[in-house]
Copies of this chain bind each other. A is one copy, B any other.
Amino acid sequence: MTTGNCQNRRTVFYLSDRTGITVETLGHSLLTQFDGIKWRKIGIPFLDSEEKARAAAEQINLTAQQDGCRPLVFSTLINPAVRAWIEQADCAIYDFFESFIDSMEKELGQQSSHAVGRSHGVNNNASYTKRIAAVNFAQTNDDGISAKSFAEADIILVGVSRSGKTPTCLYLALQYGIYAANYPLTEEDMDSSSLPSIIKPFKDKLFGLTITAEQLHKIRQERKPNSRYSSLSQCQQELQWQESLYRRERIPFIDTTATSIEEMATIILNRSGLKRQLYGE
């Protein structure tokens, strides 16, 4: 076991039978709990044979030698023969299946299937088709103003130009199979103090996005430098009008400035009571 001085650097391996999405998500969550360490991350997906496992174990051992301390290994390895190779390598191994599956088998009074590749495969064709259809919907209706699309939508995101509607719609579609349309609030809409007439009938589906004027100014500057569109005063004016509209019409809204796409999607689903379609539930 190599336990030298790593000088605040550590190599991390993500090992998986399949895509590695689960193990990377989990490992990332744990690593963010440790400050001041520079991580070097190496992903080895599709680790599904003893031959590959032996090569991975050798790579881990070599890394331990070179680094002067043993790597962390996060894994979701279902095949015990594959896992055995890794377990004898010079590393600290955190296997997510091994840690929970025994206890779950007892709780459920049932053996687990030990089948590989179930998590992100196309197990549920209806769910897969729904996600693709939702992506098509988001793409077709991006900044598209059509009563028909609003009628079909599960949710309609509203907000001024560059407030983050498009990526959030796409994420909702790809990740959750949600039909997300969007309506861009424009200067013409600002002439009125009420909701634009085309979205009025769908008020219950509306969810507002907002952003700080400084951030919007910065984003718009990249797009159209030194224009009226991108000026700080224009951004301030649009946002003030927008937020007072949200408040007056009681449209739920969030500030996207310091919120990741993932967080926004979860907050929106949570507050709007939409059933999530993640993983074909």
Find out whether the CB atom of A119 lies under 8 angstroms from the CB atom of B19.
no
Find out whether the CB atom of B174 lies under 8 angstroms from the CB atom of A170.
yes
A208 near B: Cβ within 8 Å?
no
- How many monomers of this protein are in the complex? 2
Q: Whole-angstrom distance from the CB of A55 to the nearest CB of chain B?
A: 15
Find out whether the CB atom of A115 lies under 8 angstroms from the CB atom of B33.
yes
A50 near B: Cβ within 8 Å?
no
Find out whether the CB atom of B32 lies under 8 angstroms from the CB atom of A96.
no
A29 near B: Cβ within 8 Å?
yes
| Distance between Cα atoms of A166 and B170 in the complex (Å) | 11
| Distance between Cα atoms of A41 and B119 in the complex (Å) | 16
CB-CB contacts below 8 Å: A39-66 with B? 39, 41, 43, 45-46
| Distance between Cα atoms of A88 and B174 in the complex (Å) | 37
Instruction: Kindly list chain B residues whose C-beta atoms are within 8 Å of the C-beta of A259.
Output: 122
Cross-chain contact of A101 among B33, B78, B97, B164 (Cβ < 8 A): B33
Find out whether the CB atom of B25 lies under 8 angstroms from the CB atom of A262.
no
A107 near B: Cβ within 8 Å?
yes
Number of interface residues of A (CB under 8 A): 75
Give the B-binding residues of A (Cβ under 8 A).
10, 18-22, 24-26, 28-30, 32-37, 39, 41, 43, 45-46, 72, 76, 78, 92, 94, 96-97, 99-101, 103-104, 107-108, 110, 112-115, 118-123, 128, 131-132, 135-136, 139, 142, 164, 166-167, 170-171, 174, 258-263, 265-267, 270, 276, 278-279, 281
Instruction: Kindly list chain B residues whose C-beta atoms are within 8 Å of the C-beta of A30.
Output: 97, 100-101, 104
Instruction: Kindly list chain B residues whose C-beta atoms are within 8 Å of the C-beta of A22.
Output: 25-26, 28-29
Known A26-B96, A29-B22, A142-B139; judge A37-B108 contact (CB<8 A): yes
Q: Whole-angstrom distance from the CB of A222 to the nearest CB of chain B?
A: 9
In the complex formed, the residue of B with least CB distance to A170 is: B170
Instruction: Kindly list chain B residues whose C-beta atoms are within 8 Å of the C-beta of A103.
Output: 92, 94
In the complex formed, the residue of B with least CB distance to A133 is: B222
For this complex, 17 residue pairs linking A to B, each with C-beta atoms less than 8 Å apart, are A18-B266, A19-B265, A19-B267, A25-B26, A26-B96, A28-B278, A30-B97, A30-B100, A32-B119, A34-B104, A34-B112, A34-B113, A37-B110, A122-B259, A128-B260, A132-B164, A171-B174
| Distance between Cα atoms of A118 and B132 in the complex (Å) | 30
Instruction: Kindly list chain B residues whose C-beta atoms are within 8 Å of the C-beta of A266.
Output: 18-21, 45-46
Contacts A21-B25, A33-B78 known; 18 new A-B pairs at CB < 8 A: A18-B266, A19-B265, A24-B278, A24-B279, A26-B26, A30-B101, A33-B115, A34-B104, A35-B113, A37-B108, A37-B110, A39-B281, A46-B270, A92-B103, A99-B100, A120-B263, A122-B260, A132-B164
